[in-house]
Every structure is written in structure tokens, then in C-alpha cells.
Structure 1
Amino acid sequence: MFKEIELDALKEIGNIGAGNAATALSMLLSKRVEMRIPEVKVLPFDEVSRLVGGPENMVTGIFFRIEGELAFNILFIMQPADTLNLLKIMLRQEKTELDLTALEESALKEMGNIIASAFVAALADFTRLSLRVSVPCLAIDMAGAILSVPLSLYGYIGDTAFLLETEFEEGLDDIKVHFFLIPDDDNAFKVLLNTIGVRASDGNNSSGDGRI
């Protein structure tokens, strides 16, 4: 169903966005940060909650709506330990409970906004589509409730999700973020893949390093 070149192109876009996000995070944290997207997986939306520990597992979710020439959703999901470690690094203070202050919520939203904006900018550059990112929404809740946000807000959601597994190689060691790209429906999903496939096969390469 999915061409390898399309998924490879999406992974490349993710790595370009990760590079840009790492630069911005380095400035925010005043320390070197490196991150990458090692793998792209396609999975049924119903399996997403299982992947993050089950529908009743408490997680941190940061949600973005992407609109323009293509409409889809971005959802970051982090486990509690990763959330607390990230806050410790960002705010330089110990944190043991997920009773977030306004400052802590703002810090997490800013981190999510940096990564999402960098990815969408890379995607827009690669596909030449006009895309815009909403302000972030943050919640700490069971995974099932977090995953129902797009459906509750817009009344529909696609049956398939991309997982772009985000790894921090330096600066935010041992913190993992699940980055889900969820098109609105199958048609949006096909448009995204077809657009990426066309750009990938015509020799265009946003990173300028000869790959793809």
C-alpha cells in the first residue's frame, strides 16, 4: 500500500525538521541538543494507544492542528518519567509529580511547538504546500482520552497514523517522544503520500545533501 520511497521521504523530512528543531532547542536550553527520526512506522489508529502503554496509561499529550492545503493532526505523547526529566532539564529543578504549574505547561508547549513547527516547515518546503500550525494544546490524562482529542474537536479522524519516533542523541539524553502524524481521512493520507512521492522521485531534496 505504501511505497518505500514515500516513507523514506517522510523520514528524511522528519530528520530535516529534527535538525532545525535541535538548533532551536539548543538556543532555548543553552546547551547542545541533537535529535533524529530513526524510523517511520504506519499503523492503524486503533493501535496507537497500545503502543504508548494502553488506553488507561497516564501520559502527557501535546496536540497541534495543521491546516492549509493539507489538513492533519500532530500529537506528541510522552511517558510521565520522560515528562519529568524534560522539565528537570528545561527548568533546572527537580520535579517528582505531574501537577504542572503554568510555567511548566508553557515550557512543554514551547518544546512541542519548536519540534512541530520545524517538521511542518520542512514538510511545506519539501512538498511546496502552504501549511500553518495551530497553537498547542496540552493535557495529562489517560492515553485513550488524549487520543480522542482530534475526534472530539473536529468530529472525525483518519484510520491510519504515522509514527515518527523521536530520539534525542545529546542534550536531552534518554528522553523519548512519540510523534504521531494523523491525517484527517484516507484521502488526506493519500494526498500527503502522493505529494511526498512525487517530490521524492523528481530529484528535489530540501536538505541539499544528495539524498532522496
Structure 2
Amino acid sequence: MEVDIRKLEAANRMAHEGAERAASHLSAMTDIETSVDVTRTHVRSDATALERQQCVGVVIELDGGLRGRTAFTFPAEAVERVRDVLAPGMEDMDESLVRELGNVMAGGFVDGWADYLGTTIDISPPTYVDGDPTLLFDDADETFVFASSIGAVDESISFSVHLSPEVGEYGELLGDDGETVSVEDLSHFDEMTRGGATTVAENITAMTGIETTVEITHVSFVPVEEVPEALGDTTYVGVVIELETSPGGFVLILFDETSARDISGALLPGDDGFSDGELSETEQNAIQELGNIMASSFIDGWANALETTIDISPPTFAHDMGSAIADPLVAQLGQKQEFAFVSDATIRAAKTPFDCSLYVLPDESELREVLSSLDADATSERKTNAGRL
């Protein structure tokens, strides 16, 4: 399926506006001021598009002008906070409360999409979901999922809204009218990231003895300006590498500070690490060298898949909040594009509290070009093989 990039951008903006309407309805109901933090379009249809966390929520089926389903999910603590506001002292009404919250928020969200599409969208009564938001994807097939995070101002509360149209809806919603990218090409991008992340995990294990696995990977389409917000205010230690040839952009390999301590300890046995909260020069060099090896192995995998050579810059050491690390990269990418396909993976240790986040922020036009070339080569090879039969 070919997807028009401009239409995908417009749909992402509409998902954001719909989430803002949903947040507004929630604020009117609870007097809790809310705002939409990040809206991204997940490319894969599997459950990795939703964080695997315990939550409750509702799934609402859509019919009429837009067929599919939407889900509103709430962490348990968010429901408790809303319950304290709306029904203080009532302990046994979480399901009915969540149904009502979902119903109210769906009204704003779906109305926004109906206005955008110039149609009427019918909604079903909400189905309560406890602990398994992946119900949203149980019969999806290579679709895009529009996902927004909604936060409460001055409150540690968050909510999520997801929209998954039926497969047949995409021709109308995102059909081929201009600059396009195919879902098949994006699947290749996803597979390349998964394969590269697996190689990176193997290298971490080989160098440190820490057994690791690739737990979460997905590709998403997100406004460039929202990338720093997506990385948030967590402090990371790691490296940033620029791709100096196609597909361009940047690769970030980032450890949270606890994981950086574990890594530096494994690389430098006997070193106390993080004296007075700061990495020593030796520790910085060790993590920078590890990051360089990890990034090189990751990019070599890409180069092999694309049958090309990818030149990279020397790694730049980073120790800062995720948003601060991403800001200058976004400023550079934002000169040429408003949206980006972002691929991210989480590498986790099997037996220790250890996380490594790997982000790929490619140049959109260069990525489309190299993936299209890869797809064209594959098509040509299939035709050649067919002719030999």
C-alpha cells in the first residue's frame, strides 16, 4: 500500500487535534487541566505500539464515515486521582467511572475526526478493558495507529488515546496523491532496526558479560518538533552519531544513569564510577567507545541490507536530559522536514535493571529514496527469477 506523506502528516495533526478535544472534554468533566503531550503515528500494527503497562480503559468501535476502533487507556493511579475528584470516598466504581471517562473523551475525539473528514462517525458503547490494551490490535493487519499522550498540568497523571482504522479505510484517508512511501518499505525499515538492535544487544553481552534482549522496537511518524518531548526529562548517558551519507540523520544510543553505572562497572572492574554524580574521563571514554562499537555494528547491518556504504561521524558523548540531547538534532532536521520517521528500540538486561535506548532519526526524503531503491531491486530480482522458471 502506498501512503501519501502529506496526507499522513495531515492525519497526524488531526489525531493531535482530536486528542486535544478529548482532553478538553475531560477537563470540563473533572476540572483537571490537561494538555496533549505527544502525538505519533505508529507504523506497525502489533502490540508494541502500546506500552506494555498495567492499565485500564475502554475500546470503542467506529462505524459510518470512519470504520475502526479507538481506545482510551488510563494507568491505575490516574483513575484513582479522577475518582478522588468526581466521587470521593467511593472505592468500587472504577469500571463505571472508566466507561464514563472514555465515553466523554470519545465524544470530543470522534467529533474532531468527523469534522476533518466531513462525515458522520457512529460509535459503539465502550467496552471495558482491564490490564490488556492490546485488544486494540487483535484483528489489525499492517495498519497505522494514531497515538496521543495526554497529561494533566501540575499533576502526575497521564492518559493515552489510540485510533486504529480498518485496513480498507487507508485508501481514502492516506491514499496515493503525491510523495509516497509504501507500508512494505516501512516494514523493511522496521526489520532493519530490529536486526540492528539485536546485533547491538549481542555486542553489549560480548563486551560486558551482561545478558541482554531487544524487548521493544517500533517505527513511528512524529512531528520533528515533538521528538525532544518524546525523549522527556530523563537524564541519559550515551553517544550521538550523524549519518553523513544516505539515509542521513542521526543515531542515538542512550543509557539511563543507573544503566550507565552498570555498564561502566562492567567495562572497568574495580572503578567506583560516578564520583560525586559525575562520570570520570575514563568512564566517559569507555561508554563512548562502547557506543561507537554499538552504533557501527548497527549501521553496518543497515549498510548490508541496503547494499551500500554509510559514512558516519565520530561519536559525540552526551550526558544530559533526553530532550536537551535531541534539541540540536531536531533543529538540524527541522530545516528540511516537518515530520520524521523515528525508529526506536529498547535493549534490556535479562537479570539486572538495565536499559539501553536506541533511536534512529533519518532524513525523511533520503530514507524514502533508499527504501524505494531497495524495494525496486527486490521487485527486479523477483521478475528475473520468475523469467528463469
Task: Give the TM-score normalised by structure 2.
Answer: 0.44
Contact 2:248 2:362 in 1 (8 A): yes
Equivalent of 2:235 in 32, 44, 58: 58
What SS does the aligned partner of 1:68 have?
A: coil
Percent identical residues: 19
What is the aligned-residue RMSD (CA, Å)? Answer: 3.2
CA distance in 2, matches of 1:90, 1:157: 39
1:34-183 superposed matches below 5 A: 34-36=212-214, 38-42=216-220, 43-54=222-233, 57-92=234-269, 93-96=271-274, 98-150=277-329, 156=335, 158=337, 159-170=339-350, 173-183=352-362
How many pairs were matched up?
199
CA-CA distance at 1:7 after TM superposition = 3.2
Contact 1:59 1:142 in 2 (8 A): yes
CA-CA distance at 1:5 after TM superposition = 2.7
CA-CA distance at 1:196 after TM superposition = 4.7
Write the letter of the residue equivalent to 2:260. Answer: T
Write the letter of the residue equivalent to 2:307. Answer: R
Write the letter of the residue equivalent to 1:12. Answer: E
CA-CA distance at 1:63 after TM superposition = 0.7
Contact 1:10 1:40 in 2 (8 A): no
CA-CA distance at 1:181 after TM superposition = 1.4
Contact 1:61 1:76 in 2 (8 A): yes
Contact 1:157 1:183 in 2 (8 A): no
Write the letter of the residue equivalent to 1:180. Answer: Y
Relative to structure 1, is the Cα distance of residues 170 and 90 closer, same or farther in structure 2, using a 3 angstrom cutoff? Answer: farther
Write the letter of the residue equivalent to 2:248. Answer: A
Contact 1:58 1:80 in 2 (8 A): yes
CA distance in 2, matches of 1:160, 1:201: 26
Contact 1:18 1:35 in 2 (8 A): no
- The corresponding residue for 1:15 is 194
* Larger radius of gyration between Structure 1 and Structure 2: 2
Unmatched 5+ residue regions in structure 2?
4-180, 383-389
Unmatched 5+ residue regions in structure 1?
205-212
What SS does the aligned partner of 2:291 have?
A: helix
Greater relative CO (CA pairs within 8 A, separation 6+): 1
What SS does the aligned partner of 2:299 have?
A: helix
Relative to structure 1, is the Cα distance of residues 62 and 165 closer, same or farther in structure 2, using a 3 angstrom cutoff? Answer: same
CA distance in 1, matches of 2:379, 2:344: 21
CA distance in 2, matches of 1:77, 1:104: 15
CA distance in 1, matches of 2:304, 2:379: 15
Contact 1:166 1:176 in 2 (8 A): yes
CA-CA distance at 1:9 after TM superposition = 2.0
Contact 1:11 1:38 in 2 (8 A): no
What SS does the aligned partner of 1:27 have?
A: helix
Relative to structure 1, is the Cα distance of residues 189 and 16 closer, same or farther in structure 2, using a 3 angstrom cutoff? Answer: closer
Contact 2:193 2:343 in 1 (8 A): no
What SS does the aligned partner of 1:132 have?
A: coil
Task: Give the TM-score normalised by structure 1.
Answer: 0.74
Contact 1:73 1:182 in 2 (8 A): yes
Relative to structure 1, is the Cα distance of residues 44 and 168 closer, same or farther in structure 2, using a 3 angstrom cutoff? Answer: same
Relative to structure 1, is the Cα distance of residues 73 and 200 closer, same or farther in structure 2, using a 3 angstrom cutoff? Answer: farther
Contact 1:49 1:143 in 2 (8 A): yes
